[in-house]
Each structure stands twice: as C-alpha cells, then as structure tokens.
Amino acid sequence: MVPHLITALTGPINELEARVLDSMPAIERWLRLEWMEHTPPFYASVDLRNAGFKLAPVDTDLFPRGFNHLTEEMLPLAVQAAMAAIEKICPEAKNLLIVPQDDDGPFHAEHLERLVRIFTMAGLNVRLGSLDPSLATPRRIALPGGGALAVEPLVRSRRRLGLKDFDPCTILLNHDLAGGTPKLLEGLHEQYLLPPLHAGWVVRRKSRHFQSYEEVAKKFAKLLGMDPWLITPMSGGTVRLAADDRRGLESLKAAADALLARLRRKHKEYGIADKPFVVVKADDGSRGAGVVSLRDAAELDSGGRWAASPLAAGEEVRELLVQEGVATNERINDAVAEPVVCTMDRYVIGGYYRVHAGRRADENLSSPGSTFVPLAFAPSHQLPRPGVAPGASPPNRFYMYGVIGRLAMLAAAYELEATDPEAEHYD
Amino acid sequence: MVPHLITALTGPINELEARVLDSMPAIERWLRLEWMEHTPPFYASVDLRNAGFKLAPVDTDLFPRGFNHLTEEMLPLAVQAAMAAIEKICPEAKNLLIVPQDDDGPFHAEHLERLVRIFTMAGLNVRLGSLDPSLATPRRIALPGGGALAVEPLVRSRRRLGLKDFDPCTILLNHDLAGGTPKLLEGLHEQYLLPPLHAGWVVRRKSRHFQSYEEVAKKFAKLLGMDPWLITPMSGGTVRLAADDRRGLESLKAAADALLARLRRKHKEYGIADKPFVVVKADDGSRGAGVVSLRDAAELDSGGRWAASPLAAGEEVRELLVQEGVATNERINDAVAEPVVCTMDRYVIGGYYRVHAGRRADENLSSPGSTFVPLAFAPSHQLPRPGVAPGASPPNRFYMYGVIGRLAMLAAAYELEATDPEAEHYD
C-alpha cells in the first residue's frame, strides 16, 4: 500500500504505469512474500527519475535526511510504521538513542525534530547523541518554529553506548559514516544498532546496490511480464581513476562508449527519440557534485566542467560507476523535479519532490540550489474506487513511485545481506 | 500511536486527560508489551463516553460496521494496519472472502466498499459471500456514489468455504452471528476464519467483556497511578429475567439499587455533583433498543417505557447486565455525541462521532435516528510539538480516546482467550 499523494505528473498514463496500477494486489502480495525472506532496511529514501518511457531509482539513501519534507498529515503513517518496526526488532524497547549527522542547519534541525517526534509517539524515550569527539557539553540546536533540540556527547562504556544517565537498548544511526566507522560504534553486541554499520558509505558501493536492484527488478519484471530495463538503470561497470591517470580515463571512455552503444540499441528497439546519455558517479558515496552526464565519451577529452569533478580536492584515487542516465520528465513551476520516496520498515510513509531551477532534465538535482516540495495527500474526491466506471476516479499515480521505491528498498535488503560481515562466518 | 483527529471537545484538559497525554511513551510501551502476549482482535470499533470526570468504553464491537464514517484521508492508516495484520496471520494470502451482514442499505454498501478497498490495497483479491441460504445467484448492491458490489452465494465443500471459482485462504467475518452460528462456518480447520466464531454474539457476553476490561483497566491504572474507576463502568452484575417474572424484576431492582448506592459513594468521594445512573442492557447482543437508563430502581415499577423493552417481542427469557451509566459531555451542533474509535490489528485507524439529536446525555445513542460525523485529521498547525513552549501547540485530545479504545480492544483479546473453546483442551 502506498498513500495517494498528488504528483506533478499530468500526462496520460503510459503502458508501464497502467500495468503497475492494474497489478496492485499481485504486486503487494509479491512484496509481502519477499519481506518474509528479507529484512527491510530500517528506513530509506529513494530518488526516482521518470523519463516517461522508463522509471528507475537513481539513489537509495539508507540514512534519510529529508523527513522534514513530509507533510504533517503523513506523520501517523510514519509512526505506525515505526511501531511495526520496533515491535519486530525489540518490543521491550524503552530508550532510543539517535546519532545524527553533525549539521546544525535549520532544515536538518526540522528533520531531527521529526525523527524525535515519530519515535516518541511510537512509545520511546528519545535523545540525540553526537559523534563529534570535541563535544563536551550538550549542544542546543534551535528549531525554526521555536524551541530547540539538545544533542549530547556520547558516552561509551566497554560494551554499551549511551548518554549521561541514558542507557538505550536501540541506537538509530542517522549518519552516513562517509568519513569512516568511528571506534565508538564498534563492538556494540548488547545493543541494537540500526541500520547496521555496513550500511555506511565506508562499506557500501553503489555498484553493489544496483547489482542487487537488477536482481530484484528481473524478478519483478517477470511477475508483470515486462522488460526489466523499463525500471532499471543499465550498468556500464566501475572504473578506477587516479589523478592525472591517462589509462584510467581511457577505460572510463571505453566503458561509457560501450554503454552508450547498448543504450542506442535499446532506444531503437523501443522507438525512443531521446538521445541516450550516461552518468559517471562516485561508487562509494553520495557526493552529488561528482555526478557527470555524458552524451558522448569524447566529452571526457574536452576538459572543462568534467576535468575537475571526478576526484575531490586532495583525492588520490576513486572508484567510479558508469550508469545509464535517466532523464526526469517532471516539472514543478517549470523547474526540473524528481520524486523522493520515503520508507520505514516495509512501508511507504510519504514522499516529496526535489526541485532544481538551475538544472536540466538530464542533470543531477541533488546539488547546491535544490529545493524541496512536500507531496500532499490527494483530496478525497480524487481517490480511486474499484467498481466505479473508468475515468470517474483518477488513479493513484504516486502508487508506481511507491512500488519502484520499495523495489530499491528491497534491493538494499539484498545488498545488506550480501555485504554483512557477520554472515560470512556461516558461508 | 493515535492519529491526531479533531474532537468536538473544547473544554480545559482535566487531570485524567493530562496524565494520559503526559504518559504517552510509557503507555505505548506498556501496550507493546501486552501485544507480545495477547493477540489483538482483527478489527473492532469501541463506543466511548466522556463524562468529564471519567471516560469509559460502553460497547466493543468485534464486527465493526461503520468504516464508511472514516475519512478517505485515514485509508492509508487502515491499509497499513491491514498489511501488518495479514503479514502476521497468513503472509502468503492471495484471496480474501468477506462475509458481511445481510443489509443492502446505502451506508452498509459504502462500509463494505471501504472494506473491499482496504484489503485490495493491502494486496488481496477480495470478494463478498452471503450467509443467506436463499441466495442462488450474485446479488448486486448499488453504491451511493455510482458502481456496485456483488455479494455471491457461499459454496461449502467438506473442508473449505469459498465462492464459485474462488478459494480463499482467509475468511473475514463482518457478521455478528447474533442469530446463531451457521453450519456453513463450522469445522473450517484449513482456512483462517477471522475473527473466530466465538467472537459472535452466540458466545459473547457483555458481562464477560467488561470483566476482562476491569482486569485491563486495573493494570493500566496501576501504571498511571490512578483510580481504575475513572476509566471503568462499574458493574452491578447480571440478572436473568423472564416474561411476567416478578421475582426476576425484584432481583433487577435490588442489583440496580446496590449499584446506585456504590456510585453515590464514589460521586461523594470525588465531589461530583451529577446524580449517578445505571443502565440495563441485554448481556448477549448489541440490540440497542433494549438499553434503559435508571436514576432510581423504583422507575422499574412505573412501567411505561421500560415495561416493554427488556424482552423483545416473543422472547421468553433474557440475561441482563446492570452497569454504571456514563453520560457523554460531547455535543456536535447541540446534539448529544459519543466518539467511536476504530481499530485494526494493534492500531487505531480513525474515529467518528455518533450523534443523536433526539436523545439526552444519559441515553443510549445507538438507536434509530442516530447520525454519524467523521473525525478529520487535525490541520498541521495544530499538531503537538515536543520542546515547544506549553500552550503553543494544542495537544492531541483524540489521543486519550485512542488509548481507552485500545484498552477495550485489549480486553476483547483477554476475553477471546478466556472463551476460546479450542483452548480448553490445554487447561
């Protein structure tokens, strides 16, 4: 089930969308069976791009940071999902420690306030603890609407992590660990650490995630009798690139060229007029600035914008993922927009649009200057009613986004199983 | 968690409500632990009455029939709860058969359409089957908004129940079985029958339910450090009454007198100016017409309205429950109103008001002439925000109703465990 939210999409429903809408009970049952065998990531946000002829996830964040963009009306869904998640993991839970990113911006403060509220309403005492080792006394983060949150110094004992006078049974990471896994978080075998440490960007690789996604998408496409490419960004593999590395650059060009050739064949097969493009992005993180779109591998020679971006300042070497680019067809007030689907446990709890007025439809929107538009529930007269004449009720267009978002979440479940360092002992 | 709905209540928050609101995390955790040991009834609707000084459930329906009074915005909560319930009971479920009450009225049709929609969105193929043995071909029930539902004849094989070309793994009863348990539903050991047959009014007794409720309320009151009477209708026991039964009537008067005396002491203890009253209702069903309010047992002698009501026409004998009457303080447009809380699995999925313009605050509203007012989600600027100065955000007044509604649902869980005919073999 996916809440009925109003999307910016107004065009006619294409074949893919119609098939997804018609197959709702079969899809929900299939997902139910998958969740019997795989544990969903505790929470996630999935960036989607809808090119019209295809719809695909382009980024799956296991430490979502945009819950402030969900409307207040969606909170009960989030709380209900949180209750279901806690009930399964640790029903006797009393105290929850949230470890957030070190970011005191007003949007982040609102996001944290949301997280605190959701888990408080789910029946937990919630406090915030910072990974910043220089923090000696609680830091106050002002909330834009008034009030404040306190982020406290973490207190580590030999076996447990907590705060002063606060011993949690569950620790919720809302920090992507891109800078490495802190010692503070290691060896916590007595407490539930969610998501697990290997969901952090020290371990995670986008290529590994999309490999799992391809597996999920193939199963799903078989269920619906369709080509999995319609929901999958095609992969061109990864390339290792060092600074001033001519051989690496040649490999990258070759990978991009090969993928572009495959995509041109696909576009021809489907009669798609749009020229295909590929994106090159860092395999080990979500640093959006590094994402580059290419319509021709020769663009790599021309230097310019590209020359500076694949490696961050001071970086020696980087693994890059070459992937099919998916354009977004959605616009909000003429600005390019992409939907973001938020999940908790097995449930879609809401969504919002990431909007960037300064970017094109084939560019990455997760970059400075982007804004966010919460999606609202559809007003009641717009809800679908089975048994009512077709056309009498507009379909839930957000449903398809909720399905593809959950496929990406399921892929993350496969991925975390495959990369679990504890699981290796049993192979 | 309970959605934040707008109640009709506008008065100041009293001590009981303040205590419930302040104890939210502790209450939610306590309920979570109770659900670890007790299976919630599949769904329920609980009638509450708020007298200001006390709030108590007065009827717990295990075959709710008012889902049409939930707003469309609440559907996602219901669907998410349905998914959680199905996942626990029978995750591989594909087909769901709903067995409704034989009632073709427009409100009932809308209620059934809601049920069908909720379980379809949860990923099931849903069809309706009638217990009416005279039904030979599908019956069409027109929906007020256009379209129609089909109710089909049930097909019983030796071990299974279904419809023509429809073999469900789960059967959802939405029929209170007040007329007896049909043979059609007996011995279905291969399929899930929800709620179980002993939730029907052939087996259920209100006195048994409130006995379980007292047990639950005592535990809950201990948690909050308060008098359980503030959330419990005091019981005066049951009395067996036959037609023209002078001895039975004397017993009834004695029971009412004794309860009134206990209530007067309680009112004095709390300094409550309102005069207490008792209600007499059929112990074995929800026939609202039989509920009678008494401020003095002598009213039983005067005949009049009462003389006709405790026994229905042609009835020989009836078990009656004598219970403390709880007045309702709520008004919608000057008409007396009582809140109804709807639950599915462990979750509150919404609520509505039952309103009766022709009744007084101490009378039963579940009778001909009552109307229904859906409760809406509170607009976002009204949501409570922890950390914000007191008074800056109105509290969720519906929360207390959701808590007491869930206590009644928990009592139903205790009750169904105690009355389970299968469980007796293991005692």
Q: Answer whether residue B381 shows pLDDT above 80.
A: no
Considering only residues A218 and B9, tell me which one the structure prediction assigns the higher pLDDT.
A218
Q: What tens digit of pLDDT does each residue of A360-404 get?
A: 888 888 777 778 787 765 544 334 444 444 444 566 778 899 999
Closest alpha carbon within chain A to B388: A147
Q: What is the mean pLDDT of residues A229-242?
A: 93
Task: Report the alpha-carbon distance of residue A279 to residue A258 in Å, rounded.
Answer: 13
Contact A135, A165 (CB under 8 A): no
Domain ranges for chain B, please list them. Answer: 1-62+204-233+326-418, 75-203, 235-324
Of all residues in chain A, the one with the smallest CA distance to B119 is: A25
Cβ distance A32 to B123 less than 8 Å, yes or no, reads yes
Provide, as residue numbers in chain B, all residues whose Cβ is less than 8 Å from the Cβ of A120.
Answer: 24-25, 386
Q: What are phi and psi of B419, to 5 degrees?
A: -100, 5
Q: What is the pLDDT of residue B393?
A: 53
**Alpha-carbon distance B128 to B121, whole Å?**
16
Q: Which pLDDT belongs to residue B45? A: 96
**What is the residue whose two structure tokens read 């934040």?**
B4
**Averaged pLDDT, A39-68:** 94
Q: What average pLDDT does the segment A172-198 reach?
A: 93
DSSP secondary structure of B194-212: ES-GGGSTTT--HHHHHHH
C-alpha distance from residue A251 to each of A74, A239, A240, B177, B404 (Å): 47, 7, 9, 73, 66
Q: Which of A122, A377, A387 lies nearest to residue B1, judging by beta carbons?
A: A122
What share of chain A in percent tops pLDDT 90? 55
- Nearest C-alpha in A relative to B380: A72
CA distance A398 to A401: 5
Report the residue from B29, B124, B347 with minimal CB separation from A25: B124
The CATH architecture one would assign to domain A234-325 is 2-Layer Sandwich (3.30)
A308 confidence band (pLDDT: 50, 70, 90): very low
In terms of phi and psi (left: phi > 0; alpha: psi -120 to 50; beta: otherwise), the region of A134 is: alpha
Least confident range from A291-300, A380-389, B73-82, B288-297: namely A380-389
A380 contacts in B (CB within 8 Å)?
A: 71-73
Average pLDDT over residues B303-322: 62
The pLDDT, as a whole number, for residue A382 is 38
CB contact (8 A) between residue A24 and residue B123: yes
Quote ipTM for the complex. 0.76
Q: Which residues of A are less than 8 Å from B113 in CB distance?
A: 385, 387
User: A24 vs B81: CB contact, 8 Å cut-off?
Assistant: no
Residue A349: pLDDT above 80?
yes
Q: Residue A71's closest chain B neighbor by CA?
A: B380
Rounded (10°) angle between helices A398-418 and A15-22: 80
A347 to chain B: closest CA residue: B80
Q: How far is B361 from B333, CA to CA, in rounded Å?
A: 14
Task: Give the pLDDT mean for B372-389.
Answer: 54
Give alpha helix (H) positions in A296-342: 305-308
Measure B412 CA to nearest chain A CA, in Å: 21
- Cβ proximity of A19 and A28 under 8 Å: no
Q: Which residue of B28, B72, B380 is in closest CB contact with A123?
A: B28
Looking at every residue in chain A, the average pLDDT score rounds to 86
Is the CB of A123 less than 8 angstroms away from the CB of B377? no
Using DSSP, state whether A226 is helix, strand or coil.
Answer: coil
Confidence (pLDDT) at A198: 95
Of A31, A71, A147, the CB nearest to B385: A147
Percent above pLDDT 70 for chain A? 87
Share of chain B above pLDDT 70, in %: 87
Measure CB to CB from residue B143 to each of A80, A124, A387 and give the nearest one.
A387
Of residues B246 and A250, more confidently modeled? A250
pLDDT for position A414 = 98
Contacts of A36 in chain B (CB under 8 A): 91-92
What pLDDT does A79 receive? 92
The gap between the terminal CA atoms of chain B, to the nearest Å, is 35
In this prediction the pTM is 0.84
Q: In what order do the strands lie in the sheet with A278-282?
A: A235-242, A317-324, A278-282, A292-294
Q: What is the mean pLDDT of residues A119-129?
A: 94
Q: How far apart are CA B237 and CA B211, in angstroms?
A: 10
- Judged against a pLDDT cut of 50, whether residue A236 lies above it is answered with yes
Q: Per mean pLDDT, which of A373-377, B162-166, B242-246, B367-371 is the most reliable?
A: B162-166
Alpha-helix residue ranges (DSSP H) falling in A271-315: 305-308
CATH topology of domain B75-203: Rossmann fold (3.40.50)
Q: Which residues of A touch B387 (CB under 8 A)?
A: 113, 143, 147-149
**Residue B147 and residue A25: Cβ atoms within 8 Å?**
no
List the single residue in B with minimal CA-CA distance to A25. Answer: B123
* Predicted local confidence at residue B311, as pLDDT: 57
Q: Would you say how long chain A is, in residues?
A: 427
pLDDT band per the 50, 70, 90 thresholds, residue B310: low
Kindly give the pairing relationship between strand B155-156 and strand B161-162: antiparallel
Say if strands B125-130 and B148-153 run parallel, antiparallel, or are unpaired.
parallel
Mean pLDDT on A31-55: 94
Instruction: Report pLDDT for A356.
Output: 86
Residue with more model confidence, A325 or B389:
A325
Q: Which residue has the tokens 């230097």?
A: A303
Whether residues B121 and A28 touch (CB distance < 8 A) is answered with yes
Contact B167, B175 (CB under 8 A): no
Q: In the predicted model, is pLDDT for residue B398 greater than 60?
A: yes
From the CB of residue A282, how many other CB atoms can be counted at a distance below 10 Å?
24
Smallest Cα–Cα separation from B17: which of B410, B405, B274, B396? B396
Over 80: is that where the pLDDT of A415 sits? yes
Q: What is the mean pLDDT of residues A406-414?
A: 98
Q: Mean pLDDT check: name the lowest of A20-24, A247-251, A359-363.
A: A359-363
Question: How far, in Å, CA of A377 to CA of B321, rounded?
Answer: 45
Rounded to a whole number of angstroms, the distance from the CA of B307 to the nearest CA of chain A is 47
Find all residues with CB under 8 Å of B89, minimum gap 6, and list them: B170, B192, B194
Split at pLDDT 50, 70, 90, the class of B314 is low
Write out chain A residues lying below 8 Å of B27, CB-based: 123
Whether residue A386 and residue B117 make contact (CB cut-off 8 A), yes or no, is: yes
* Cβ pair B32:A83 closer than 8 A: yes
Average pLDDT, chain B: 86
Mean pLDDT calculated for residue range B271-282: 92
Q: Name the residue facing A143 among B33, B92, B387 (closest C-beta).
A: B387
User: Which residues partner with A153 through β-bridges?
Assistant: A130
Q: Can you give the pLDDT at residue A12?
A: 62
Residue B387 has pLDDT above 50, yes or no: no
Kindly report which listed range (A25-29, A38-42, A243-247, A304-308) carries the lowest average pLDDT score: A304-308
Query: What pLDDT is recorded for position A1?
Result: 53
pLDDT of residue A323: 96
Which of A82, A121, A143 shows the shortest C-beta gap to B24?
A121
Report the first-to-last Cα separation within chain A, whole angstroms: 35
The residue among B1, B118, B127 with the most chain A CBs within 10 A of its CB, best to mutate, is B1
- Could you tell me which residue, B228 or A396, shows the higher pLDDT? B228
Comparing A75-203 with A234-325, is the CATH topology the same?
no
| pLDDT for A105 | 82
d(CA B336, CA B329): 8
Predicted local distance difference test score (pLDDT) of residue A332: 82
Task: Quote the minimal CA–CA distance from A371 to chain B in Å.
Answer: 21
pLDDT of amino acid B318: 80
pLDDT tens-digit readout, A141-151: 999 888 899 99
pLDDT band for position B266 (cuts 50, 70, 90): very high
Mean pLDDT across B330-345: 89
Residue among B6, B80, B111, B117 with most chain A CBs within 10 A, to mutate: B80
The pLDDT tens digits of the residues spanning B353-374 come to: 998 888 888 888 877 777 888 7
Closest CB from A146, A148, A385 relative to B147: A385
8-state DSSP, B347: E
pLDDT-derived band at B309 (thresholds 50, 70, 90) equals very low
